[in-house]
């Protein structure tokens, strides 16, 4: 089975969040099922620096009036097609934002062209290249099923899947831009792109893809409600029979505490004591005083979604309760400043690094005692899964994938030795602080804490089960 996967990020080539991890992991996980996934991503300069130019596959005569060509490369076991366009992708800055943190003004076009290129591939435009199914990820690839439905016979008859990694990002633009998308007028309609007199790329995919998946069973339910549906719950309700929630897995080769080269000391669930060396390394990196007090960490985008404002409000309580905290992240300027101020105020007890640092994120999971994830909504979440795997006990809000993956350390779960972390119900100051206090209390009972860590490390969130679910979906659409 030949699948074309379409996305704006793919680890280890380009990553801003969990989307990249999943897009990079799926091809490897599905290989065992005889599925060959080729991933189409934009040729950002940082990607080409890693892969090299590659082999020219196709030169388009112009996609939405932009220069565009496709190059084939292989990188660390992944089959990649790079979409090259000097006008759209050959620039410094991030995949979505410029160096000043502002969205690229032409994102609507950049990702419309990505989708158009994918649809062209599905339509047989490139000699000798044929796909049985197209799997699109998030709004950046969401026009693909729309272009396919309005494409030639081959494109129309090729099945498509849209996976929603985060419904908050929808690719919504003013209707004025529709005329540049090279689609027939009927695509600007209620059952396609039209959305409150604007256009929404994601709505187009929700209406036109054959199957919609999202990244956890709980989030698949939540997005049907006004609270989590972000305005698209109505559109999603028209597709309830086609929505599937499949949990993300983690790549146990990249995230393995026994072999991880980013750790100062490797360890396993059988021997947790080397973790203390990682803890010491973290104390040094973050300028904390050496102490036996529990060390909490946060590795996250610093945004409202992630509940970081509530976390900042809880800093004083964490310190008063005897905890310490280290934070790695980047995001909203105001939150970054609040965290930097708190670190200055609680010198030696709160440490912060603003920015993105893949290696450090591994060390934080391998040396901190617990990771705090107070998300207001969380489609799946990966950091709690990495936490489990590294014995860094997750303290999470009960929502989306966090609810699906962490077993709260209540009395019954502790007695039955199944608890893997702490959950709290609402993202409020009170509930968060309560959960942190419960963790600190448990931490003071060393045997109980060690059991919790071991349970966490034994929880299996490898890709195995989820890959099978994707395979079943692929099969159901292609047989
Ligand atoms: P989201 O995709 O919503 O940001 P996830 O939990 O699904 O959240 O995935 C986040 C991914 O990005 C994880 O792999 C996490 O380790 C990583 N990450 C987030 N922020 C940083 C950072 N500042 N430095 C390094 N890795 C980070």
Each residue's pLDDT tens digit, 172-217: 999 999 999 999 999 999 999 999 999 999 999 999 999 999 999 9
pLDDT class of 238 with cuts at 50, 70, 90: very high
pLDDT the model gives residue 416: 87
Q: How far apart are CA 286 and CA 295, in angstroms?
A: 11
- Kind plus residue range of the DSSP H or E element containing 201: helix 201-208
Largest interatomic CA distance in the chain: 68
pLDDT the model gives residue 198: 98
Say if residue 114 is exposed, middle or buried (CB neighbours under 10 Å; 0-12, 13-18, 19+): buried
DSSP helix, strand, coil percent of the chain (3-state; round to 5): 40, 20, 35
Q: How far apart are CA 379 and CA 248, in angstroms?
A: 10
**Residue 195 DSSP label:** E
**Is the CB–ligand 1 distance for residue 299 below 6 Å?**
yes
The yes-or-no verdict on residue 383 having pLDDT over 90 is yes
Choice from 14, 165, 299 to test ligand 1 binding pocket (greatest atom count within 8 A of CB): 299
The yes-or-no verdict on residue 391 having pLDDT over 90 is yes
Q: Tell me if residue 325 falls in helix, strand or coil.
A: strand
* Span from the CA of 301 to the centroid of ligand 1 (angstroms): 7
Strands 133-137 and 160-164 turn out to be: parallel
* Span from the CA of 303 to the centroid of ligand 1 (angstroms): 12
The yes-or-no verdict on residue 437 having pLDDT over 90 is yes
The residue-averaged pLDDT of 420-442 equals: 96
Which tokens is 93 given?
């800055």
- Which residue has its alpha carbon closest to ligand 1 atom 16? 383
Instruction: Please report the atom of ligand 1 found closest to the CA of residue 15.
Output: 12
Instruction: Please report the atom of ligand 1 found closest to the CA of residue 165.
Output: 2
Choice from 9, 298, 301, 375 to test ligand 1 binding pocket (greatest atom count within 8 A of CB): 301
Tell if the pTM clears 0.85, that is, is over it: yes
pLDDT the model gives residue 162: 98
**Is the CB–ligand 1 distance for residue 402 below 6 Å?**
no
**Is the CB–ligand 1 distance for residue 198 below 6 Å?**
no
pLDDT the model gives residue 366: 98
Q: How far apart are CA 372 and CA 161, in angstroms?
A: 33
Query: 377 pairs with which residues across the strands?
Result: none
pLDDT the model gives residue 101: 84
Over the stretch 102-121, which tens digit does the pLDDT of each residue have?
Answer: 999 999 999 999 999 999 99
Within 8 A by CB and 6+ apart from 284, the residues are none
* Span from the CA of 5 to the centroid of ligand 1 (angstroms): 21
- The DSSP-derived string for 70-89 is EEEEEETTEEEEEEE-HHHH
- The DSSP-derived string for 401-470 is HHHHH--B--HHHHHTT---BEEESSSSHHHHHHHHHHHHHHHTSHHHHHHHHHHHHH---BSHHHHHHH
The residue-averaged pLDDT of 245-266 equals: 96
**Is the CB–ligand 1 distance for residue 20 below 6 Å?**
no
Instruction: Please report the atom of ligand 1 found closest to the CA of residue 328.
Output: 23
The yes-or-no verdict on residue 73 having pLDDT over 90 is yes
Among 121, 116, 120, 113, smallest CA distance to 85 is for 113
pLDDT class of 99 with cuts at 50, 70, 90: confident
**Is the CB–ligand 1 distance for residue 16 below 6 Å?**
no
CA distances from 402 to 169, 217, 247, 375 (A): 19, 11, 10, 9
Whether 288 contacts 282, CB under 8 Å: yes
**Is the CB–ligand 1 distance for residue 381 below 6 Å?**
yes
Q: Residue 350's CB: how many other CB atoms inside 10 A?
A: 25
Over the stretch 347-374, which tens digit does the pLDDT of each residue have?
Answer: 999 999 999 999 999 999 999 999 999 9
Instruction: Please report the atom of ligand 1 found closest to the CA of residue 301.
Output: 20
Whether 174 contacts 224, CB under 8 Å: no
- Which residue has its alpha carbon closest to ligand 1 atom 19? 300
* Span from the CA of 365 to the centroid of ligand 1 (angstroms): 12
Within 8 A by CB and 6+ apart from 91, the residues are 45
* Percentage of the chain modeled with pLDDT above 70: 100
The residue-averaged pLDDT of 59-70 equals: 96
pLDDT the model gives residue 414: 87
Among 205, 57, 211, 72, smallest CA distance to 133 is for 211
Query: 58 pairs with which residues across the strands?
Result: 70
* Span from the CA of 254 to the centroid of ligand 1 (angstroms): 14
The residue-averaged pLDDT of 267-283 equals: 97
Q: How far apart are CA 426 and CA 397, in angstroms?
A: 7
* Span from the CA of 14 to the centroid of ligand 1 (angstroms): 12
Query: 363 pairs with which residues across the strands?
Result: none
pLDDT the model gives residue 100: 86
Query: 330 pairs with which residues across the strands?
Result: 301
Among 446, 449, 422, smallest CA distance to 433 is for 422
pLDDT the model gives residue 479: 84
Choice from 10, 11, 17 to test ligand 1 binding pocket (greatest atom count within 8 A of CB): 17
Mean of per-residue pLDDT scores for the chain: 97
Residue 368, CA atoms < 13 Å, CB-side half-sphere:
36
Q: How far apart are CA 141 and CA 122, in angstroms?
A: 13
Over the stretch 291-326, which tens digit does the pLDDT of each residue have?
Answer: 999 999 999 999 999 999 999 999 999 999 999 999
Q: How far apart are CA 135 and CA 339, in angstroms?
A: 39
The residue-averaged pLDDT of 398-417 equals: 94
Whether 88 contacts 109, CB under 8 Å: yes
pLDDT class of 403 with cuts at 50, 70, 90: very high
**Is the CB–ligand 1 distance for residue 216 below 6 Å?**
no
pLDDT the model gives residue 415: 85
* Span from the CA of 307 to the centroid of ligand 1 (angstroms): 14
């Amino acid at each position: 089975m030949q699948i074309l996967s379409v996305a704006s990020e793919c680890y280890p080539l380009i990553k801003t969040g969990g989307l990249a991890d999943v897009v990079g992991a799926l091809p490897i996980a599905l290989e065992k099922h005889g599925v060959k996934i080729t991933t189409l991503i934009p040729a950002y300069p940082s990607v080409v620096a890693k892969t090299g130019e590659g082999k020219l596959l196709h030169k388009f005569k112009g996609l939405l009036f932009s220069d565009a060509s496709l190059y084939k490369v292989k990188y660390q076991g992944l089959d990649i097609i790079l979409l090259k366009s000097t006008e759209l992708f050959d620039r410094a800055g991030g995949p979505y934002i410029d160096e000043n943190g502002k969205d690229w003004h032409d994102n609507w076009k950049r990702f419309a062209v990505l989708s158009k290129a994918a649809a062209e591939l599905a339509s047989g435009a490139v000699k000798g290249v044929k796909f049985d199914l197209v799997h699109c990820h998030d709004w950046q690839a969401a026009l693909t099923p729309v272009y396919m439905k309005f494409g030639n016979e081959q494109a129309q008859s090729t099945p498509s899947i849209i996976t929603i990694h985060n419904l908050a990002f929808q690719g919504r633009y003013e209707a004025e831009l529709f005329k540049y998308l090279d689609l027939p007028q009927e695509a600007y309609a209620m059952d396609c792109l039209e959305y409150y007199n604007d256009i929404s790329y994601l709505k187009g995919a929700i209406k036109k893809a054959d199957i919609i998946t999202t990244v956890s069973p709980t989030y698949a339910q939540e997005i049907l409600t006004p609270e989590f549906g972000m305005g698209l719950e109505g559109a999603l309700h028209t597709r309830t029979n086609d929505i599937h929630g499949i949990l993300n897995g983690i790549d146990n080769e990249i995230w393995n505490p026994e072999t991880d080269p980013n750790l100062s000391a490797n360890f396993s669930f059988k021997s947790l004591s080397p973790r203390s060396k990682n803890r010491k390394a973290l104390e040094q990196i973050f300028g904390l005083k050496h102490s036996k007090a529990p060390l909490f960490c946060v590795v996250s985008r610093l945004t409202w979604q992630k509940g970081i404002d509530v976390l900042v409000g809880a800093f004083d309580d964490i310190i008063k309760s005897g905890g310490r905290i280290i934070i790695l992240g980047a995001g909203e300027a105001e939150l970054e400043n609040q965290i930097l101020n708190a670190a200055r105020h609680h010198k030696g007890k709160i440490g912060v690094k603003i920015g993105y640092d893949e290696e450090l994120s591994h060390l934080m999971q391998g040396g901190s005692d617990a990771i705090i994830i107070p998300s207001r909504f969380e489609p799946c979440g990966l950091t709690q899964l990495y936490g489990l795997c590294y014995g860094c006990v997750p303290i999470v809000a009960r929502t989306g994938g966090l609810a699906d993956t962490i077993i709260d350390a209540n009395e019954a779960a502790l007695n039955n030795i199944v608890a893997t972390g702490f959950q709290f119900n609402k993202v409020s100051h009170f509930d968060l602080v309560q959960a942190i206090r419960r963790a600190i209390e448990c931490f003071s009972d060393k045997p109980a804490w060690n059991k919790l860590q071991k349970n966490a490390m034994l929880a299996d969130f490898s890709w195995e089960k989820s890959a099978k679910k994707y395979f079943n979906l692929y099969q159901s659409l292609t047989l």
